Amino acid sequence: MVSDSTSPPIEPAAAPAVAIRELTRKFGDFTAVDRATADIPVGEVLGVIGPNGAGKSTLIKMLTTLLPPTSGSALVAGHDIVRAPAEVRRHIGYVPQLLSADGSLTGYENMLLSARLYGIPRAEQDTRITGALARMGLTASADHLVGRYSGGMIRRLEIAQSLMHRPAVLFLDEPTVGLDPAAREAVWEHVLDLRDAFKTTMVVTSHMMEEIDQFCDRIALIDRGRIAVIDTPAGLKARVGPNATLDDVFIELVGATTETEAERAYGEIRRTRRAAREHG
């Protein structure tokens, strides 16, 4: 392609916070993530939605270096997840789907463990810990055992733990699952507050369409391991029709295809079985 004066610069001034290229992960014959490609600009809150088993968690696990990809790659905060996983880990925060705070330690002790794991200098540890706890509204319960925290408090503690080293990208895997509406709201407020204060890029998976619609700049819809579409909430809804909700988008783009896919897969299985029988 010949470039002319109106085409955008080849190297944008700001490199994306996350650049995913043909990222693929297979488990045996099953392709959990299939040639995913996307750019996430700095400071964006990207919601990741999709049916159960679509590959959301596998994608996040690869981007956070917990799981090596089968092929393809990604740059996270400018570092290659395959060639420099340790550098990637230095620049990201991760709040897993499971509750990762240790219930048999106090809030402060959990924070101290994180501070040490992230190599935060001793002289700064206390200031950063108390600062992060205050930001998440946990100062009063810092010395209580986390086993006695509510679900919402644990989530806020985990976010506090993963932001102490000031990550460029924060991955949150279903951060509001199991929380009541008030606690969900509080988690989102804190997440958006972080983005505004530090320009932290956020990648958030969720099954709650309303919150994704309300709080995310863009939404990536994952279906059968592929990024089916990335767009703004308004853009996505406009694709389906006037007055469409995100639920409608989900069903329109995923629901229908899932069914035909299931049928196709069933036919395929029958064919393979028949072939196996014939070949003895």
User: Under the rule (CB under 8 A), what is the footprint of other proteins?
Assistant: 61, 64-67, 86, 89-90, 92-94, 96-102, 104-106, 109, 112-119, 122, 145, 161
Both tokens of residue 124? Answer: 């700064």
Tell me how crowded residue 30 is: count the other CB atoms within 10 A of its CB.
9
Q: For residue 130, what are its two tokens?
A: 């108390």
Tell the smallest beta-carbon distance from residue 94 to other proteins (Å).
4
Choose among 61, 43, 13: nearest CA to 218.
43
Question: Which residue's CB is nearer to other proteins, number 89 or number 128?
Answer: 89
Contact (Cβ atoms closer than 8 angstroms) between residue 209 and residue 250:
yes
Contacts of 145 (CB under 8 A, 6+ apart): 103, 104, 105, 106
Smaller CB separation from other proteins, 118 or 250: 118
**Sign of the dihedral through C-alpha 269, 271, 274, 279:** negative
Closest separation in Å from C-beta 244 to other proteins: 36
Task: Specify the residue, 43 or 85, whose C-beta has the smaller distance to other proteins.
Answer: 85
Strands (E), the chain: 18-27, 30-40, 45-49, 71-76, 79-80, 92-95, 169-173, 201-205, 218-223, 226-231
User: Alpha-carbon torsion 269, 25, 16, 115, what sign?
Assistant: positive
Q: How far is the CB of 234 from other proteins (least distance, A)?
A: 33
- Kindly tell me which of 90 and 226 has the beta carbon lying closer to other proteins: 90
Distance in Å, CB of 68 to other proteins, minimum: 9
Closest distance of CB 78 from other proteins, Å = 15
Which lies closer to other proteins via its Cβ, residue 50 or residue 96?
A: 96
Dihedral sign for Cα 175, 134, 106, 87, please. Answer: positive
Cβ of residue 178: shortest distance to other proteins, in angstroms?
13
- Closest separation between CB of residue 189 and other proteins, Å? 23
Q: How far apart are CA 277 and CA 267, in angstroms?
A: 15
Q: 104: Cβ–Cβ under 8 A, 6 or more apart, which residues?
A: 145, 146, 147
Whose Cβ is closer to other proteins: residue 75's or residue 115's?
115
| 144 burial level (CB within 10 Å; 0-12, 13-18, 19+) | middle
Least Å from the CB of residue 181 to other proteins: 24
Rank residues 10 and 86 by Cβ distance to other proteins and give the closer one: 86
| Nearer Cβ to other proteins (89/184) | 89
Reduced to 3 DSSP states, what percent helix, strand and coil does the chain have, rounded to the nearest 5?
A: 45, 20, 35
